[in-house]
Amino acid sequence: MLEDIGDVVKGKQINGEFLSESGKYYVMNGGIEPSGFYNDYNVEANTISISEGGNSCGYVQFNACPFWSGGHCYTIQNTTDNVKTEYLYQFLKSKESEIMKLRIGSGLPNIQKKDLAKFKITIPNISEQKVISAFLSSFERKADVEMNFVNLLLEEKQYLLRQMFI
């Protein structure tokens, strides 16, 4: 179970008036995108976060830099030595739809910490974890490159359309 691998830690809420539109540390809450930026962080780099509340509760994210974990965000911290963080992220990401099914409530759905802590994890040996996470991470990087390329093509299309109808 996830609780046997590491600590499921709920973040600390920051009043919205203290957030800015830019800054050194992003703030993750119940969404897919940062809620804003803050001048401090409460979670180290290379940490997995899982959205706790809202329509995207259960969204799994790997945070490569320090960030502020808000009140609607769980982080997985202090993982055991027999689990590579990169593998755990890829495993949880592959089970994201199952994690999302843990949600309760309808007005503002959320995932209970106790339910997330009991989520079952499959753990191969360390060498297999490294191979699996490297393989899946390379596909993830490839998908990011392709998405950036598509976005650039869309920008170019918009530019050309504006030039045609001046």
Domain range annotation of the chain: 2-122, 124-166
Alpha helices per DSSP H over 6-110 = 85-94, 96-100
Rounded average pLDDT over 114-125 = 94
Residues 6+ apart with CB under 8 A from 101: 58
Model pTM score? 0.81
Rounded average pLDDT over 71-90 = 93
CATH number for the domain running over 2-122: 3.90.220.20
Rounded average pLDDT over 85-93 = 94
**pLDDT above 90: residue 138:** no
Tokens encoding 67: 């960030």
Which residue in the block uniquely carries the two structure tokens 């992003």? Answer: 26
**pLDDT above 90: residue 63:** yes
**pLDDT above 80: residue 166:** no
| Positive/negative CA dihedral, 30, 31, 37, 40 | positive
Alpha helices per DSSP H over the chain = 2-5, 85-94, 96-100, 113-117, 126-164
Query: Which pLDDT does position 156 carry in this prediction?
Result: 93
Whether the CB-CB separation of 41 and 75 falls below 8 Å is answered with: no
Nearest alpha carbon to residue 1 among 129, 119, 124: 119
Nearest alpha carbon to residue 70 among 116, 20, 119, 16: 16
